């Protein structure tokens, strides 16, 4: 029997439940559909599309060049494929963004009415959103009980499976609508991405190597080291998980094989996988999470819209070195260290009083790990308007954050080389340095490096004042 294997956010052969199901049914027709029609405003950003191009390139090599590419409305393409190839079955791994759920539901319904067997699997989450609930059957809104009481007391995640052997590919005539990988036009016209991709080995094997390196060199100091951006203590596995070059099950069990149970580094790392699950849990139960405040009292918050400040933040020219370092790392590599994500996020929404939507959109376009569920939940958390959010009055000070988490300035000077010669005492507050120090360091504030675009004390007070005017209850 011919079975269509629809790859989506599962660009791997190992531990791929849908692929295993498809191969067990007989000959397969592996496809990828770039559906920018149904995704509309939530289609992938530039950095994600670059990653996708190279990940699909590697997947196609693993499939011996048998992966077929399509772009357009998935429902129309699949209907044509079913008719032309005389396939009797289609399988895919489930995705959880609201637009994908809606689209897939319609596709499944129509195909079943035609007598086509449709099988969807869980290939991207440890626990599906509807599986974790309170004792009264309601869903969680606070992370710690969700993870500690819900996830860790639920049935264990499934054990990872090996890649299927002896995959048989169905033969069929060329289709009208299929295209080449290049014709998907995932790569931008400008070449900024060339230096970006040099930082990564994209694809399933790159993901496995990434995981192996982290388990050998990073996880042993993860709990403390993950806060120090100059150290290689974070996993950098987020784009692997988003595109499915690795399954979370592979990561979950591999980590437990190298660290003894009860180790605080292991617990801290696994809880980060739990946060990813929580973001999907929230978005499943609150489909408008990407756009609407989960806490409705923030609907009346007095956000400002100052384009010049937003642009300064985006380009790493705020005059606050630790903020600028994070934003430049993002643009140049498609990635940002997690500690910096919190620092730059707090600066945007609290010191600059710009709507969290601006941060959401910039991250969505620039991050190679841009994930609708995680990105939305994280920005609502830092803005104080989400589930289990950071209190609004918790405002990161970019000077003390730099001094605490980059004490030698190794990270900051790497991304803000204009300040490479300034003494550590003034690295995170160069405007406080005496004129002779600035001259000796080759720094002209306002010329070679910007003056601060906002006063920290004044902006903090304005943020607290705006917060105090919100209604006490929603």
CB atoms within 10 A of CB 234: 22
Strand, helix or coil for residue 318 = coil
Same domain, 305 and 397: yes
Q: What is the CATH number of the domain that holds 436?
A: 1.10.579.10
In a domain? residue 93: yes
| pTM confidence score | 0.95
Q: Considering 227, 256, 285, which residue would you say is the last residue of a domain? A: 285
Strand, helix or coil for residue 92 = strand
Q: How far apart are CA 263 and CA 30, in angstroms?
A: 41
Same domain, 223 and 369: no
Same domain, 249 and 310: no
Res 117: pLDDT: 97
Res 192: pLDDT: 84
Same domain, 335 and 301: yes
Res 176: pLDDT: 73
Res 195: pLDDT: 86
Q: What is the CATH number of the domain that holds 224?
A: 1.25.40.80
In angstroms, how far is CA 277 from the centroid of its own chain?
12
Same domain, 146 and 29: no
Buried b (16+ CB within 10 A) or exposed e, 267-294: eebbbebbebbbbbbbbbbbeebbeebb
Question: Is the four-CA dihedral 85, 86, 92, 96 of positive or negative sign?
Answer: positive
Same domain, 212 and 326: no
In a domain? residue 169: no
Cβ contacts of residue 300 below 8 Å, gap of 6+? 470, 471
Res 474: pLDDT: 56
Q: Two tokens at 67?
A: 């992966």
In a domain? residue 195: no
Which residue spans within 83-149 are E strands per DSSP? Answer: 89-93, 117-121
Same domain, 278 and 416: no
Tell me the sheet residues that pair with 34.
71
Q: Return the H-helix or E-strand segment holding 196.
A: helix 193-197
In a domain? residue 147: yes
Select from 295, 263, 243 the least CA-distant residue to 93.
Answer: 243
Same domain, 277 and 372: no
By CB atoms closer than 10 A (0-12, 13-18, 19+), residue 264 is exposed
Q: Considering 254, 285, 316, which residue would you say is the last residue of a domain? A: 285
Range of the domain at 267: 125-159+205-285
Secondary structure letter of residue 354 according to DSSP = B
Q: Are 320 and 452 in contact (CB under 8 A)?
A: yes
CB atoms within 10 A of CB 410: 12
Cβ contacts of residue 407 below 8 Å, gap of 6+? 424
Q: Two tokens at 11?
A: 């660009």
Res 389: pLDDT: 67
Same domain, 353 and 393: yes
Phi, psi of 5 (to 5 degrees): -105, 110
Same domain, 118 and 260: no
The count of domains in the chain is 3
Q: Considering 123, 148, 182, which residue would you say is the last residue of a domain? A: 123
Q: What is the CATH number of the domain that holds 19?
A: 3.40.50.620
Same domain, 135 and 272: yes
In a domain? residue 30: yes
Helices marked H in 315-416 — which ranges? 321-333, 338-346, 356-366, 372-383, 398-405, 410-415
Secondary structure letter of residue 299 according to DSSP = G
Same domain, 57 and 132: no
Cβ contacts of residue 309 below 8 Å, gap of 6+? 352, 354, 453, 454
Q: Which residues of the chain have pLDDT under 70?
A: 172-174, 389-390, 473-474
Res 390: pLDDT: 67
């Amino acid at each position: 029997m011919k079975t269509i294997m629809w790859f989506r956010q599962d660009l791997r052969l190992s531990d791929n439940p849908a692929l295993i199901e498809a191969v067990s049914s007989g000959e397969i027709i592996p496809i990828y559909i770039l559906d920018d029609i149904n995704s509309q405003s939530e289609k992938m950003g530039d950095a994600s599309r670059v990653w996708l191009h190279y990940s699909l390139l590697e997947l196609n090599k693993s499939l011996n060049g048998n992966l077929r590419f399509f772009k357009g409305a998935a429902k129309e393409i699949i209907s044509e494929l079913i008719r032309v190839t005389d396939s009797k079955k289609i399988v895919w791994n489930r995705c959880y963004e609201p637009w994908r759920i809606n689209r897939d539901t319609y596709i499944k319904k129509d195909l079943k009415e035609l007598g086509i067997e449709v099988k969807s699997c869980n290939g991207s989450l440890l626990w599906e959103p509807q599986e974790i609930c309170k004792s009264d059957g309601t869903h969680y809104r606070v992370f710690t009980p969700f993870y500690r009481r819900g996830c860790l007391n639920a049935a264990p995640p499934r054990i990872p499976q090996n890649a299927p052997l002896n995959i048989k590919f169905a033969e069929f005539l060329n289709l009208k609508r299929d295209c080449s990988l290049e014709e998907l036009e995932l790569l931008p016209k400008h070449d900024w991405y060339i230096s970006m991709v040099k930082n990564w080995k994209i694809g399933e094997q790159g993901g496995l190597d990434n995981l192996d390196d982290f388990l050998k060199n990073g996880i042993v100091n993860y709990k403390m080291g993950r806060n120090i951006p100059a150290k290689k203590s974070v996993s950098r596995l987020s784009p692997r998980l988003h595109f499915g070059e690795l399954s979370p099950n592979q990561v979950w069990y591999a980590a437990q094989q190298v660290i003894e149970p009860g180790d605080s580094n292991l617990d801290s790392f696994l809880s980060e996988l739990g946060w990813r699950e929580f973001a999907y849990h929230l978005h499943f139960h609150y489909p408008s999470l990407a756009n609407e405040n989960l806490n409705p009292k923030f609907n009346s918050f007095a956000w400002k819209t100052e384009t010049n400040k937003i642009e300064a933040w985006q380009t790493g020219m705020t005059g606050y070195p630790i903020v600028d370092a994070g934003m430049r790392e993002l643009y140049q590599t498609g990635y940002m260290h997690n500690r910096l994500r919190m620092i730059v996020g707090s600066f945007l929404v609290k010191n600059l009083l710009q709507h969290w939507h601006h941060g959401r959109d910039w991250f969505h376009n620039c991050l190679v790990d841009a994930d609708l569920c995680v990105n939305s939940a994280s920005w609502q958390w830092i803005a104080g308007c989400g589930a289990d959010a950071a209190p609004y009055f918790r405002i990161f000070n970019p000077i003390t954050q730099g001094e605490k988490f980059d004490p030698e300035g190794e990270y900051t000077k790497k991304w803000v080389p204009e300040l490479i010669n300034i003494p550590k005492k003034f690295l995170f507050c160069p405007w406080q340095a005496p004129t002779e120090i600035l001259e000796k360091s080759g720094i002209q504030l306002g010329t070679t490096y910007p003056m601060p675009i906002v006063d920290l004390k004044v902006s903090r007070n304005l943020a607290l004042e705006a917060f105090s005017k919100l209604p006490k209850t929603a």
